[in-house]
């Protein structure tokens, strides 16, 4: 899929672990792992909103389109 999820990059920049963000977002570790590994087929606006809020970033920092 040409949409790349850069969640791991943003997590590294903010020095935050996957389990930490999962706890703050109140979602399961397996769900956030699906997003990080690029296996997710869709992302809810509410999830994106929470990620941006916690990591203090823009949606474009998380999602990238590559041809």
Partner 1 sequence: MKLILTIFKWATAILCCFVVLVTVGMTVRYASTLYENNPDSYITIQDDNMRHEFMGTATDEASSFIYSPDKAARYKQNKPNYSVDIRPNSPVGYYYMVSTLIFVSLGALILGMFWQIFSQISLDAPFNSRVVRLLHTAAYLYIISEVLGFIHYFVLGKLLNNAMQQNTLHQITEKGDNLIIGLIILIIAVVYKRGLEIYEEHSLTV
Q: Shortest gap between Cβ of 67 and partner 1 (angstroms)?
A: 23
Q: 29, 31, 60, 64: which one contacts partner 1 (CB under 8 A)? A: 31
Report yes or no: 59 and 48 within 8 Å, Cβ to Cβ. yes
Q: Shortest gap between Cβ of 39 and partner 1 (angstroms)?
A: 6
Select the span of 11-19, 25-33, 54-62 touching partner 1 (CB under 8 A): 25-33
Report yes or no: 35 and 5 within 8 Å, Cβ to Cβ. yes
Distances (CA, A) of 20 to 24, 26, 59: 6, 10, 19
Residues that bind partner 1 (CB under 8 A): 27, 31-32, 34-35, 39-44, 47
């Amino acid at each position: 899929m040409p949409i790349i999820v850069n969640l791991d990059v943003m997590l590294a920049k903010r020095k935050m672990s996957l389990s930490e963000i999962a706890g703050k977002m109140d979602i399961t570790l397996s769900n956030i792992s699906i997003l990080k590994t690029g296996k997710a087929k869709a992302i809810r606006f509410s999830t994106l909103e929470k990620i941006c809020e916690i990591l203090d970033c823009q949606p474009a920092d998380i999602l990238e389109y590559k041809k």
